[in-house]
Amino acid sequence: MTQTAAIIGGGVIGGGWAARFLLMGWDVRVFDPSPDAARKIGEVVANARRSLPGLSDVALPSEGNLSFHDTMSDAVQGASWIQESVPERLPLKRKVYQVLQEHCAHDAVIGSSTSGFKPSELHGCATRPEQIVVAHPFNPVYLLPLVELVPGEKTSPAVTVKAKEILTAIGMHPLHIKAEIDAHIADRLLEAVWREALWLINDGIATTEEIDDAIRYGFGLRWAQMGLFETYRIAGGEAGMRHFIEQFGPCLEWPWTKLMDVPELNDTLIDKIADQSDAQSGAMSIRELERTRDDNLVTILRGLKAQDWGAGALLNTQDQRIAGKPVLPDDLSKPIVTVERAIPLDWTDYNGHMNEARYLQAFGDASDRMMLLAGVDADYIAGGASYFTAETHIRHIDEVHAGTVIRVETQVLSGSGKKMHLFHRMLAGDRELATGEHMLIHVSLETRRACEPSAKVSAALQQVATAHAALPKPHGAGKSVGVKG
């Protein structure tokens, strides 16, 4: 049976909640008095449809129904979860709860997206305060899993349990905060960084871009996969967290920051931190933690490379610097090396060797490099033409593991007319790992039909094909999958 969520307030956060519930199979009923609410939420949902399913390797539930309602009383009908995301004004929120509780089910969870108010403050004037919890998410709600779940003294334990179950079921991580505090946990940490950043700008020490670079090229990447304390545990080396505190703890008394109100690092606090860190990460050795960190960072950085953003853009620029300008080699009497690289950690599978799809990627990269060498560069493609792959045949000959340095040698079997026929050999030293045969067709990007390449590209391919015609026919060229009787 499809469950129903009511979203009260359709701004950025409310729209994100609507998208999260909707794509997880819930019916979503929205109340927002703004005449643009349907358009704005529709745009947020469109972004979620584009991105959220890509996080899953299985099909998401069938999408629920999205509807908009003129009154809160209508919006909450049948809702088992009600998410309040109205502006951060306490009297307004309390008034909203009074209206909601006149019309909603008594066993519905009412969650507030408030980033600052404590649940006890929200409970004032509520008819049934036991229904109300803080459920503070982070933007974009449909992608980031954290939601700070803060019950108050009057919140029913059964409501807290139900809230955890629902939030977990829609793919979120409910962080159960057991003590009320202004701004909860995450925003207090963000606020500390924000305050220091404002001082750095105010004092003329750094610009906004320089501060963002300090985060996105450095500690932000570490925090993204290990947080603060696990990162510092590694910094403590084999001696762990206690050694880190002993080494760097005195810095808290130095005037490095405007935020000088810090607790005394006495034995009690040190023991508390060290014991909690042992419970959190003590099952792993420092070397295991380092390898996990490295694997995670490689995955994050390679994802950023694919988007050509932040540290990923930096890596792409470095790749281009190392590779140099693509030019045909002077010696065409042998196959052309089109790929030379180490196999990254995220290219391996559950068998511990390179995933079969990555063989295709390596050979695809080799074909792309051959196109570049022939003159099919970004300007050429922007001019309206390119090569499309029409057929591929890959033979898997030997295993490849992470860290192995491979090279792909490419032989041009044919480069006449609209066709580019390539044969790739993947090697590690002298060991043959795989072969890939690719047939590409030159295509007009306007008509999406085959067409003749430019004279310059045609001449380059013909030059290589003529030289490579003197080479022996590669073993495996022209073959299909062999079936032995």
Q: Which residues are annotated as a binding site?
A: 9-14
CB 452 within 8 A of CB 458: yes
Distance of CA 162 to CAs 108, 165, 264, 306, Å?
9, 5, 39, 39
Cα atoms in the Cβ-side hemisphere of radius 13 Å centred on 28: 27
What distance, in Å, lies between the first and last C-alpha atoms of the chain? 52
| Token reading at 391 | 């057929």
Closest C-alpha to 34, from 5, 67, 6, 70: 70
Cα atoms in the Cβ-side hemisphere of radius 13 Å centred on 471: 21
Closest C-alpha to 155, from 109, 113, 222, 93: 109
Sheet hosting strand 385-396, strand order edge to edge:
336-342, 405-414, 419-428, 431-444, 385-396
Give start and end residues of each alpha helix (H) in 266-418: 267-281, 286-307, 311-323, 356-374, 378-382
Please enumerate, by residue number, every residue annotated as part of a binding site for NAD(+): 9-14
CB 235 within 8 A of CB 207: no
Distance of CA 42 to the CA centre of its chain: 23
State the Cα–Cα distance between residues 398 and 396, nearest whole angstrom.
6
Helix (H, G, I), strand (E, B) or coil at 100: helix
